[in-house]
Amino acid sequence: MGFYERAIFSPICDRALDQPEIHAERTRTLSPTRGTVLEVGVGTGLNLSDYPRSVHRITALTRDRTLDLRAAERARKSAIAVSHHSGDACRLPFQPRQFDTVVCTFILCSVSRPAEAVAEFARVLRPGGQLLFLEHVVVDGGGLRLAQRMWSPLGRMVNCGCSPARDTARILREAPLQLDELTELDVPAMPWLYRHLIRGRATRL
């Protein structure tokens, strides 16, 4: 992680996403969590307070060599043991069929090859395992969609690769997973261009 991302973007993003309305959506997303858990892109650990009480241990992947100090503190407060691994979402450093649950929240907007990342999530899931997701996405039409697309090139530069115009719903529908649930919603607590979310669950057959 470079200086800009570590010292400027990450703290701003952490404050923007640490809102009660967004935590409520995280809680709904994570409620089905079971078994061995991989969270891809744990970041500053904003999900850690929202896992069900039955979750005591997760494996966490980031691009960094060490777990973010804010994530470590949130893990301590939540009593969840976090095993940190450094790696790329598009090339997960794990064996096939290793996890019962894979979690991704606000990650697929930023990875360079999101379809490959989702295929990797499927690879490391056991048969019957589940992908739980919460992502901001492009809207179907209208002025907001136009604004998302116009802002996206500059937004990716300012926001460390994050695009408000990514059609993650389509990527998930085309993934090697069974899409069990996909709910679209607007969350006013999110920044305007990023307020249209999808939340749901997909299963590896």
pLDDT tens, residue by residue, 19-68: 999 999 999 999 999 999 999 999 999 999 999 999 999 999 999 999 99
Angle at the Cα of 19 from the Cα atoms of 196 and 108, rounded to 5 degrees: 45
- Mean pLDDT for the stretch of residues 75-80: 97
Tell me which of 4 and 131 has the higher pLDDT. 131
Q: What is the mean pLDDT of the chain?
A: 96
End-to-end CA distance of the chain: 35
Q: Is the pLDDT of residue 1 over 80?
A: no
Residue 50's pLDDT is 98
Residue 161's pLDDT is 94
With cut-offs at 50, 70 and 90, classify the pLDDT of residue 88.
very high
The answer to whether 182 and 198 are in contact (CB under 8 A) is yes
Residue 2's pLDDT is 84
Residues forming beta bridges with residue 61, ordered by sequence position = 40, 85
Q: Burial of 58 by CB count in 10 Å (0-12 exposed, 13-18 middle, 19+ buried)?
A: buried
Question: Domains (ranges, CATH) in the chain?
Answer: 3-203 (3.40.50.150)
Residue 167's pLDDT is 97
Question: Does the CA dihedral 99-96-72-199 come out positive or negative?
Answer: negative
The answer to whether 83 and 99 are in contact (CB under 8 A) is no
Residue 3's pLDDT is 87
- Of 52, 48, 46, 53, whose CA–CA distance to 28 is shortest? 52
Residue 103's pLDDT is 98
Tell me which of 3 and 27 has the higher pLDDT. 27
Size (the chain), residues? 205
Residue 69's pLDDT is 96
Q: Is the pLDDT of residue 200 over 90?
A: yes
* Pair type for strands 81-86 and 196-203: unpaired
The answer to whether 103 and 47 are in contact (CB under 8 A) is yes
- Mean pLDDT for the stretch of residues 109-120: 97
The answer to whether 133 and 108 are in contact (CB under 8 A) is yes
DSSP designation for 14: H
Residue 75's pLDDT is 97
With cut-offs at 50, 70 and 90, classify the pLDDT of residue 76.
very high
Looking at the chain, the whole-number percentage of residues with pLDDT higher than 90 is: 96
Residue 78's pLDDT is 96
